[in-house]
Amino acid sequence: MPKSFQKIVIVGQLEDPRVTEPRDLLIAHLDAAGLTVIPQQKIEDSDLVIAIGGDGTMLYASRLARKYGTPILGINRGRLGFLADVTPDEMITSVDQVLHGDYSVDSRLLLQARLFQKSGREQVAYALNDVVLQRRETGRMVDFETRVDGRYVNTHSGDGLIVATPTGSTAYALSCGGPIIEPHLDAIVVVPVCPHTLTDRPIVVAADRSIDVSLLERDETKAEITVDGFSMGSITPDDKLQISAANKRVTLVHPPGYDFYSILRSKLFWGRDSRNREM
């Protein structure tokens, strides 16, 4: 981790006015402070990535920063996001605190997804949130088998399977009934999507385990793999998907006062007495 941040990359959906305004303000502020804002194509030369947007922007920033280990600071301009924790009103103050060395770092687990195809081709992708097996172009369920470190776990029927990091435990996995996992834990959650059997429940495994998923041969079976929402391609019964912890991690930067539980309360409306609603 650098002691100071001199070269900064800013990422965000520039066509979105909610992003353009704070981005322009931030660039002017950084320029006045004598710092250099460089294009994202030169991210290998940067000391810090500032992502302005929601969790989708943070996931995009993580794909850029992963290779070089560049830390990321998130400015939240999305909706129900858990990754970008700085509000627009706090942006300049929080950025100044970080630039002056008043910050904490948060190392997040990454997943490596390897798709071994019958043809001999191997595809590799990385996920900060999740790797998802899902049915495609059909109303039929998919049937698949899971193994952990080569040990048989279950044969599933349903809409698919989510394999998520602690970071991703508050994303798609949460909507499918998975648990919330503290970000610092080295654990992986495996969550069935709309399982046919009610006893097919989410499980949490240690991050040093390898998870193998195989699609079973059924009529009109079509399924695909998505990694952090991006398609990795189709999977057939002759292929094998292997998911494990990557050897690199993503580093998030937080200004003073970062509190994971405070974010949960804010996003999930915890701690509010619903009996005393104002009409």
Q: Is residue 2 part of a domain?
A: no
pLDDT, position 150: 97
Shared-domain flag, residues 270 and 186: no
Do residue 15 and residue 75 come from a single domain? yes
Q: Is 129 within the bounds of a domain?
A: yes
Q: Would 222 be classed as within a structural domain?
A: yes
Of 47, 55, 212, 228, the catalytic one is: 55
Residues 132 and 201 in one domain: yes
Give the residue ranges of the chain where pLDDT is below 70: 1-3, 80, 274-279
Number of domains in the chain: 2
Return the pLDDT at 3. Answer: 53
Q: Is residue 100 part of a domain?
A: yes
In this structure, is residue 1 part of a structural domain? no
What local confidence, expressed as pLDDT, does residue 38 receive? 96
Check residue 16 and give its pLDDT. Answer: 87
229: containing domain = 111-245
Asked if 135 and 97 sit in the same domain, the reply is no
| CATH classification of the domain holding 123 | 2.60.200.30
Same domain, 212 and 238: yes
pLDDT of residue 279: 43
Give per-residue pLDDT as tens, 75-101.
998 776 789 889 989 999 999 999 999
Whole-number pLDDT of residue 1: 42
Asked if 102 and 47 sit in the same domain, the reply is yes
Q: Are residues 240 and 258 both part of a single domain?
A: no
- Which residues have CB under 8 Å from 227's CB, separation 6+? 113, 125, 126, 127, 130, 131, 132
Is residue 239 annotated as a catalytic residue, yes or no?
A: no
Q: Are 146 and 235 in the same domain? A: yes
Same domain, 158 and 212: yes
Same domain, 148 and 186: yes
> Which CATH number does the domain housing residue 37 bear?
3.40.50.10330
Do both 238 and 122 map to the same domain?
yes
User: Does residue 116 sit in the same domain as residue 205?
Assistant: yes
